[in-house]
Amino acid sequence: MSLPVSHAVDADGIGWDPAGGANGFTPETQAALRAATAALARATGTGPAAAPVKAVVVISAKEKIFIAGADLKWLSRLADAQEAVQMARAGQELFSQLAGLGVPVVCAIHGACAGGGYELALACTWRIASDAKETVIGLPETGLGLIPGWGGSTRLPRLIGAPAAVEHMLRAALVPAARALETGLVDELVPVADLKARAKAAALRLAAEGAPARATPPAPPADFFVAQRKLAAARLRGQPAPLVLLDTVEQGAGLPLDRALALEAEKFGSIAAGEVAKNLIQVFSLKEAGRKANLDAWFPPAAAPAPKAAPAAPFQIIGIIGAGVMGSGIAQWCATRGYGVMLCDTERPALENAIKVIRGLFDDMIRRGQTTHPAAHKAMGSIGVTTNLDDFDGCDMVIEAIVENVAAKQKLFAELSKIVQSDCVLASNTSALPIEELSAGAAGPERILGLHFFNPVSRMSLVELIVGRHTAAPAAAAGLAFAKVLGKSPVICRSSPGFLVTRVLFFYLNEACRLWEEGVPTPVIDAALHEWGWPMGPMRLIDEVGVDVTDFIFGEMEHYFPGRFQRTTICARLLAAGLKGRKNGASSGFYTYESRKELLNPAVAALAAPGPATMKAEAIVDRL
């Protein structure tokens, strides 16, 4: 059995340590890395039996991954705070051993470098990353209810400054290599083909000249941590990790490295074995399992190609019909993933507005560090617009995102199926309508399926892949592969009314409206669910979805589930008053949005029935 970590010394005195031979850190890989590092320590002259090693390069043996962090099963089995502290100290000591070799240590990063993988990189003298799209870097631990506990919470602020480090760690996301270079997470960006050679050159240079002096990052403003605590408490209610991270960074800033690391380990231990961390790790694990979704349960194995057999990028040109919120969002996201996009709408002004919206989405991604100006400019250039369906004859897939109306979608698919090539996959972004109804009258219904994206498309990872009664295995497999190329988490659903999300969500929203009709005020309902942990309350969510869309789906649910779903009337009453929510530029629904902060809409309050003066939040949550 081969070890997951090994080392070798070349003729130029460079020690090569392929520490990323395994996907993530386990006790076994840590032990192997510890042994390899100890052997290199002996070879550098810091131990007995010295040999002429001038520098060390840490590089992965994997083609598309560096190190994906600590094994989540290991983390989830932590029994108590003491065991968690011991785990943190062991990792810190290992990386300090690497940092203390007495020779330059260069980290050559290609592929995912996450969590403990980047904490290892932080312990190195110099960090070089490949410019490949697979290379993403960062410390996402707060998203798992943890803080970086193997030195990341201490070393990153000392490298790039507390404000930038805190922003990165609280965002809990990996960033592309180019963004990592901009923010100082890495020191060089090189073509992947040159990574090994450039890493060796850097190692020899550092061995000959020494490491360049790094400027000490300026201290953060006096009120920085106070402001960050307020933001974290407001945005991430019920999650201790962000506040623990802020305490760790603030308290460790003035300490020597060894004492700061000890503090970090104690802080890590205080939350790592808690219920919040265990639950968030479980949620992450379930999401990752969802990314491996396949069609085995939907088609006989001979009929459905396995996911690995599906093409990595099944399409090149994506057509999108409907330049509203969803159509614009889908177009923008497809462009970010390298597809050519043709966006169609019957109204030229709608297309012009869509281009403005898409530019704004790219600007937002740049601000968030999710892309760069050159990449955004290139993606923007891949989007074309048209008012003519005939321009879709060269598309590999067409997604419709028009009004939720069966007749309109049927007519569109019937026309479209005569224009596109016979192997073009057709998809509907419908949130509730059965696919077989929409494909009635279309040529080739076996190539029609549902791809239900969620708003905002650029931030919501979920997509429902709806298999209709007539959908064939090749179309479904292509749709699944497409969703994965987009970086989404596909959930495969049968074509039944409401699919999965809408069926669950709109029963919830309808019951919230029933509470309102019984006299419970809008802010009381929303506050109860917001405090419980939802990003927003149900009435606020209706405004975002659109009062018109909500009322339409209420009607569909009542039609398909007679006796089980009794439609409330408040959304119809809001529509009659011209209140559509916040969608498509509308400024009023349950709230008004003309100021920078949403305000309770007095026009809606005037429609409310007299009801209970108070209703406990717990009772509202239980009801919903």
Catalytic residues: 452
CA distance 23 to 29: 10
Residue among 546, 524, 497, 500 at smallest CA distance from 624: 524
- Helix/strand/coil for 611: coil
CA distance 436 to 450: 10
CA distance 584 to 586: 6
- Phi then psi for residue 474, to 5 deg, are -60, -40
Tokens read off for 337: 């993933």
- Omega before residue 456 within 30° of 0, cis: yes
Tokens read off for 439: 């494909």
CA distance 241 to 281: 13
For residue 356, what is the enclosing H or E element?
helix 348-367
Residue type, 187: D
Find the distance separating the first CA and the last CA of the chain, reported in whole Å. 54
Helical segments of 192-324, H only:
195-209, 224-235, 241-252, 257-272, 275-291
579: left (phi over 0), alpha (psi -120 to 50) or beta: beta
Helical segments of 499-611, H only:
501-517, 522-532, 538-545, 547-560, 570-576, 602-605
CA distance 305 to 293: 13
Tokens read off for 204: 């020899």
CA distance 283 to 145: 11
Q: Are 521 and 474 in contact (CB under 8 A)?
A: no
Q: Are 434 and 460 in contact (CB under 8 A)?
A: no
Query: Cβ contacts of residue 17 below 8 Å, gap of 6+?
Result: 5, 6, 7, 33, 36, 37, 40, 56, 57, 58, 59
CA distance 180 to 187: 9
Q: Residue 224 burial by CB count (10 A; 0-12/13-18/19+): exposed, middle or buried? A: middle
Q: How many C-beta atoms surround the C-beta of residue 536 within 10 A?
A: 14
For residue 397, what is the enclosing H or E element?
strand 397-400
Q: Are 72 and 284 in contact (CB under 8 A)?
A: yes
Distances (CA, A) of 492 to 287, 446, 475: 13, 17, 13
Query: Cβ contacts of residue 76 below 8 Å, gap of 6+?
Result: 278, 281, 282, 285
Distances (CA, A) of 151 to 37, 123, 258, 334: 17, 8, 10, 37
Query: Cβ contacts of residue 69 below 8 Å, gap of 6+?
Result: 24, 25, 114, 115, 116, 117
Tokens read off for 1: 């059995």
